[in-house]
Amino acid sequence: MNEQFDNITKILERNADVWPDDVALVEINPQELEAHHTTWREYSLIEASPVEAFRTELTWREFEDKANRFANLLISRGYQKGDKVAILLMNCLEWLPVYFGVLKAGCMAVPLNFRYTAEEIKYCLELSDAKSLVFGPEFTGRVEQIIDRIPQIKDRFYVGDDCPSFAISFRTLLESASSARVSLDIVPEDEAAIYFSSGTTGFPKAIVLQHRCLLHSCYVEQNHHGQKKEDTFLCIPPLYHTGAKMHWFGSFLVGSRAVLLKGVKPEWIIRAVSEEKCTIVWLLVPWAQDILDAIERGDVNLSEYSLDGWRLMHIGAQPVPPALIQRWKKVFPHHDYDTNYGLSESTGPGAVHLGVENTDHVGAIGVAGYGWETKIVGKDGITPVPPGEVGELALKGPGIMKEYFRNPQATAEIMKEPGWLLTGDMAEERDGFIYLVDRAKDVIITGGENLYPVQIEDFIRTNPKVKDVAVIGLPDSRLGEIAAAIVSVKEGMTLTESEFNDFCRDLPRYKRPRKVIFAEVPRNPTGKIEKPRLRKMYGADALVAKQNGIPS
């Protein structure tokens, strides 16, 4: 793409001008079909659908019209440049027009995790200094719990039917708002959004991204995956997170279509690719595993679908087991494959990526992405370590956050050197490729040896009976810590402790898990294993509670 833009709202305007009647977004909700006892196949065979909410779409003209109306609505209600507008919505056709309306008004978008409790919502609204909240029906109860304790929220915009008494109808207000384009001077260094860290070390931190960050992520994604106008991107992960949205930015940049699929069942994903002629799909590790398992069990018969147009499967948000990709390539040998690495502090994915031409290096997270620099540093957070030595991965590029909002100490800890961001991920460089070793906080020190759980997890996942696994450290009076494996077994299979231990004999003795727990492995909405939760369930806190007779 040779066109240059000052900010991403200009891309939306270009799309609406050049392709006004082309479909921009499609929303598919398979759960609506199940609620009406109608199958996807039955739905496709009838002309007059009994389930109108199953599939809806939006053109580029309609997309921009809604964004313009929300921008003008905010301005008419006194919102000024830099005011924060929080967004608490499940994936839906309103999500992105709301987001772009906030940006067009010169305000800052503040996406919220849909799993937040009422108190976490309150915390994030207060921390970000949000002036208003846009929320959907799924969150009415949680918002109602805190509504009297968030006086700084000037407006509560409700997206849906049956507006509660403490909110105002977003759709009603939008109908009467002007659809004229807003003329504001927005420059790359203006603040655009606040995203929240995953909160794995306590309450989440507020990450300030500038317009330059959002714009750069468009070019990064399109450069890596070569999106063209005729592509169709299947978007499944939550839009509040930088991962899904910034991957969509590559499609957005070229005006191609995207499909928002509200559900993660393997049959739904495969059928959406088939029915909507999707060419690019971004998956999380659990979803890719579930698809392969469903195919192996015979629950999904690929001969029933039209998948010839699917050209790229890319994956990220957490370490990707090489065994998973080897399985995937056997089933889908024609797919290009890419691993993407990033974090919200670097505007999501693409700071490092494997590259579709480097599938012979599966297991690595790859090389520096388009416009990015990388280095692996020692304990001082600045000095590079020699190739082959483990250190902390650091990033430099236009996508680096401005700061943690109102937290200069945390900002200084992660940005010790001007322009460089410390990721908290331990990595090493081999043959010019970066390999992720583990999160610095997840390293297990047992008898003076450093154990990197990801390496152990990758090995355990090669067991054909293992669906998912997480390795954590448990306290030990003699060794300090021991490695414990929480193992989720595939449906219909059994795996005993003895079988598991025999399998692990191929690991060096010091890397073998000293304890195995057969249980589900919890993951957050972006696919990351919730290791702090596991440590709380099975670690020192759990042991003390058990000794004191306190139920976990």
Integer Cα distance of 220 and 399 in angstroms: 10
Nearest to 4 by CA among 150, 171, 219, 184: 219
Secondary structure of 114-163 as H, E, C letters = CCCCHHHHHHHHHHHCEEEEEECHHHHHHHHHHHHHCCCCCEEEECCCCC
- pLDDT value at 440 more than 80: no
How remote is the C-alpha of 122 from its chain's centroid? 22
Cα 240 to Cα 15, 283, 376: the distances in Å are: 23, 16, 30
**Residue in the structure block whose two tokens are 């450069």:** 223
- CA contacts within 13 A on the Cβ side of 497: 10
Q: How confident is the model at residue 289 (pLDDT cuts 50, 70, 90)?
A: confident
Whole-number pLDDT of residue 116: 86
Q: Where in the chain is the domain with CATH 3.40.50.12780?
A: 8-212
What's the average model confidence in pLDDT over 12-20? 98
What's the average model confidence in pLDDT over 254-270? 96
pTM of the model: 0.84
Whole-number pLDDT of residue 43: 63
Query: CATH number of the domain at 8-212, please?
Result: 3.40.50.12780
Q: CA triplet 6, 344, 137: central angle to 5 degrees?
A: 95
What's the average model confidence in pLDDT over 382-386? 94
Whole-number pLDDT of residue 149: 95
Q: Which CATH architecture has domain 323-439?
A: Roll (2.30)
- pLDDT value at 136 more than 60: yes
Q: Where in the chain is the domain with CATH 2.30.38.10?
A: 323-439
The overall average pLDDT reported for the chain is: 89
Whole-number pLDDT of residue 20: 98
Cα 68 to Cα 11, 97, 172, 177, 348: the distances in Å are: 14, 8, 15, 9, 26
Whole-number pLDDT of residue 42: 64
Whole-number pLDDT of residue 118: 92
Integer Cα distance of 398 and 201 in angstroms: 26
* Phi then psi dihedrals of residue 38, to 5 deg: -120, 135
- pLDDT value at 306 more than 60: yes
Whole-number pLDDT of residue 528: 76
Which CATH superfamily is 443-547 part of?
ANL, C-terminal domain (3.30.300.30)
Whole-number pLDDT of residue 54: 85
101, with CB counted inside 10 A (0-12, 13-18, 19+), is buried
Whole-number pLDDT of residue 377: 95
Q: Of 219-223, 444-448, 485-489, which range is least confident?
A: 444-448
SS3 state at 126: helix
pLDDT of 539-548, one tens digit each?
Answer: 754 544 444 4
Whole-number pLDDT of residue 449: 67
Whole-number pLDDT of residue 545: 44
Beta partners for 234?
259, 281
pLDDT of 350-361, one tens digit each?
Answer: 999 999 999 889
Nearest to 259 by CA among 436, 56, 509: 56
- pLDDT value at 312 more than 60: yes
Q: Where in the chain is the domain with CATH 3.30.300.30?
A: 443-547
What's the average model confidence in pLDDT over 202-219? 92
What's the average model confidence in pLDDT over 480-493? 90
- pLDDT value at 10 more than 90: yes
